[in-house]
């Protein structure tokens, strides 16, 4: 639990990559809505963080679920089965960070050109 006034969310849960789907399913059962999926490249620690945001349409609650994967093999299971809205967010995270969402139906670039092979939000990206 964290202070909303200080951080902007109430619950900050850190899970293992394999547990992401279970966490999303639990939030879905409790009526949470998809907010966003994004990544952060922690190059110093040689890890990538995937951040899932959820809000509740009827309550104040804001939940953040985060998981870390090694930079050498950035793979997380997709939650687009549970939240179809995550489909686009995961595509965007994939193209920006090169994080693969296993089981995603269509992991093609969304905002970058369709032949883009680079991942611009990685910290070692050179234009």
Partner 1 sequence: MSTSQVIPAPEQPHETFVLNVGPQHPATHGVLRLKLTMDGEYITRAEPVCGYIHRMHEKMGENRTWAQYLPNTGRIDYLAAMAYGHAYVAAVERAAKIEVPPRAEYIRVITTELNRISSHLVWFGAFLLDLGGFTPLLYAFDDREKILDLLEALTGSRLTYCYYRFGGVCNDVDDDFIRGVREFVAGMWPRMKFYRELVTDNIILRKRLIGIGVISDEMCRKYGATGPVIRGSGVGYDVRKMEPYSVYRDLDFDVPVFSEGDCMARYLVRMEEMVQSLRIVEQALDKLPAGPVMTSGVPRVLKPPAGDYCFAVEAARGRLLVRIVSDNKEIPYRVRWRTPSFCNLSLFEEASAGMMLPDALALLGSLDLVIPDIDR
Which residues contribute to the site for partner 1 (CB under 8 A)? 4-9, 31-36, 38, 40-41, 51, 53, 55, 57-60, 62, 64, 83-85, 87-88, 96, 109-113, 120-121
CA distances from 59 to 6, 12, 17, 31, 64 (A): 19, 17, 27, 10, 15
**Residue placing its CB nearer to partner 1 in the complex, 32 or 77:** 32
Place of tokens 């939940």: 63
**Residue placing its CB nearer to partner 1 in the complex, 35 or 77:** 35
Q: Which of 90, 88, 75, 87 is nearest to 16 (CA)?
A: 75
**Residue placing its CB nearer to partner 1 in the complex, 77 or 93:** 93
Q: Do 78 and 91 touch, CB atoms closer than 8 A? A: no
In whole angstroms, the minimum distance from the beta carbon of 100 to partner 1 comes to 20
């Amino acid at each position: 639990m964290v202070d909303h006034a200080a951080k902007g969310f109430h619950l900050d849960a850190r899970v293992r990559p394999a547990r992401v789907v279970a966490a999303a399913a639990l939030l879905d059962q409790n009526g949470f809505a998809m907010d966003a999926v994004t990544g952060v490249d922690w190059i110093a620690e040689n890890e990538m963080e995937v951040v899932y945001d959820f809000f509740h349409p009827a309550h104040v609650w804001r939940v953040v679920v985060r998981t870390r994967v090694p930079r050498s093999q950035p793979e997380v299971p997709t939650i687009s089965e549970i939240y179809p809205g995550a489909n686009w967010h995961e595509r965007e995270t994939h193209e920006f960070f090169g994080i693969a969402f296993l089981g995603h139906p269509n992991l093609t670039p969304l905002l970058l050109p369709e032949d883009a092979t680079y991942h611009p939000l990685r910290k070692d990206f050179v234009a």
